[in-house]
Amino acid sequence: MPIVTSTEMFKKAYEGGYAIGAFNVNNMEIIQGITEAAAETRSPLILQVSAGARKYAKHVYLMKLVEAAEADTGLPICLHLDHGENFEVCKSCIDGGFTSVMIDGSKHPFEDNIALTKQVVDYAHAHGVVVEGELGRLEGVEDDVVVSAENSSYTDPAQVEEFVSRTGVDSLAIAIGTSHGAYKFKPGVKPQLRFDILKEVEKRLPGFPIVLHGASSVIPEFVETINAYGGKLNDAIGVPEDMLREAARMAVCKINIDSDLRLALTAGVRKHLAENPANFDPRQYLIPGRDNIRDLVRHKITDVLGSNDRI
């Protein structure tokens, strides 16, 4: 099966009350860990690449690695650009074989966001590629750009119908209180998401796939391992998994996970190197990192997203 768009995945996920995991990839070990778990659990999959990942690994390497993962597993994989900043980066990914792009115009005023998103949609659809847009702004760090709490904003449900109909986007990312990175909520304060906004968006856009960014749970086991072996991650807090389960049952069809993968890989590598100080073979110290990613993704698919046994 060639690399696919997310159209069919989202239709089934919406109807079935589950979500597809969209996992950020930067190298071979991350791709192998994720796809091994998805193949084991028979789950459709979105692998997503940020501008930073393209800069780190080069587009062609990531493209070929994802093609290799598809050939190795036979999984339906959608290859998606995460947080495309402008038309040029989206065009470059569309021309370079991606099946899905996100144009993130959320930092622009409403009319400018619509114009930019529509420009990308027109080009993408003419090339058989689907587009994710964003309304509302998440707090946190994306590609070295820090969005402060004051500059973040919840999605206004009153804008979603106009945005979707004027742009023609295929899915919409909304801001309901999640954020990027490992520090999503203040210590001692009960994490809360604006499910009322999600409900209102769902009512206004029946059947339309919604995307949740910043959805890592910051698994305590990995944070504790990192800290036990010389790391310093104080007060890291993620989205409680019950909230992700609830979102997946609702209109959320795509759940973005990056930080959890980074923590899983780092925990495995740190522990291995601390316990084997004489080792300097990357093939040995990357294995526990890759295994942690596989176990994490298996857990997400079967215990949180519900996308297992859907192919």
Could you say which of 82, 104, 170, 258 is catalytic?
82
- Are 56 and 62 in contact by the 8 Å Cβ rule? The answer is no
User: Could you tell me which stretch among 11-19, 152-160, 211-219, 264-272 binds ligand 13P (CB under 6 A)?
Assistant: 211-219
User: Could you tell me which stretch among 49-57, 155-163, 189-197, 221-229 binds ligand G3H (CB under 6 A)?
Assistant: 49-57
Q: Is 82 designated active site?
A: yes
Show contacts with ligand 13P in window 56-85 (CB under 6 A): 82-83
- Are 77 and 64 in contact by the 8 Å Cβ rule? The answer is no
Cβ atoms within 10 Å of 67's Cβ, excluding its own: 15
Distances (CA, A) of 45 to 177, 200, 201, 239: 25, 27, 25, 21
Cβ atoms within 10 Å of 210's Cβ, excluding its own: 25
Q: CA 140, CA 144: separation in Å to the nearest integer?
A: 10
Between 54 and 213, name the residue whose CB sits nearer to Zn ion: 213
> At 151, is the secondary structure helix, strand, or coil?
coil
> At 78, is the secondary structure helix, strand, or coil?
strand
Q: CA 80, CA 291: separation in Å to the nearest integer?
A: 24
209 binds ligand 13P (CB under 6 A): no
What tokens were used for 203? 């009512």
259 binds ligand 13P (CB under 6 A): yes
Site string for Zn ion, 158-197 (x = CB under 5 A): ----------------------------------------
107 binds ligand G3H (CB under 6 A): no
213 binds Zn ion (CB under 5 A): yes
Give min distance, CB of 175 to ligand G3H, in A: 13
Q: Which residues contact ligand G3H (rule: CB under 6 A)?
A: 24, 50, 52-53, 82-83, 142-143, 180, 258
Q: Which residues contact ligand 13P (rule: CB under 6 A)?
A: 24, 82-83, 180-181, 213-216, 256-260
Which residues participate in catalysis according to the annotation?
82
